[in-house]
Amino acid sequence: MLGEVKGELEDTQWRRAHHIVSENQRVLQMSKCLAEHEVVSAGQLLTEGHYSLQHDYEVTCEETDFLVTTLTELPQVYGARQVGGGFGGCVLALVTEDHVQETLDRVGEAYQQQFNLTIQDIPISITGGCHRMI
């Protein structure tokens, strides 16, 4: 569907629209991955979403790009992406539970060296979530 109008849009407009369509597809795929406990695929979707934000929607920043790159180089990290309104904010990472502190320490040290800033970490866990939306 989006491919049908590609010739009518400027490159930037097409990339923005492509991000939205592909992000909606990733949301549906993520729901399935989480329901089936497919953490490797879920992590890949997170990282794909970040790269789409970075290259198609162009709303990431140097700091969040650095965090995602640093995180995804670690074997205990399944994936990572910027979350929030764009142009900075938070990075969500899917990490094995027994490696959370080690990951925070390593990434925090790398971030401190790169930007002379301290990250604020907020460990979270997945819960039951919404079952019905009105």
The one-letter code for the residue type at 50 is H
Cα gap 67→47, rounded to integer Å: 11
Mean pLDDT over each residue of the chain, to the nearest integer: 92
pLDDT digits (tens, 9 = 90+) for 76-127: 999 999 998 888 889 999 999 999 999 999 999 999 999 999 999 998 887 7
pLDDT digits (tens, 9 = 90+) for 4-17: 777 788 999 999 99
- Which contacts qualify for 31-37: CB closer than 8 Å, 24 or more apart? 34/126
pTM of the model: 0.89
Helix (H) or strand (E) holding 68: helix 62-72
CATH of domain 2-115: 3.30.70.890
Distance of CA 53 to the CA centre of its chain: 8
Strands (E) located in the chain: 77-83, 90-95
Are 41 and 73 in contact by the 8 Å Cβ rule? The answer is: no
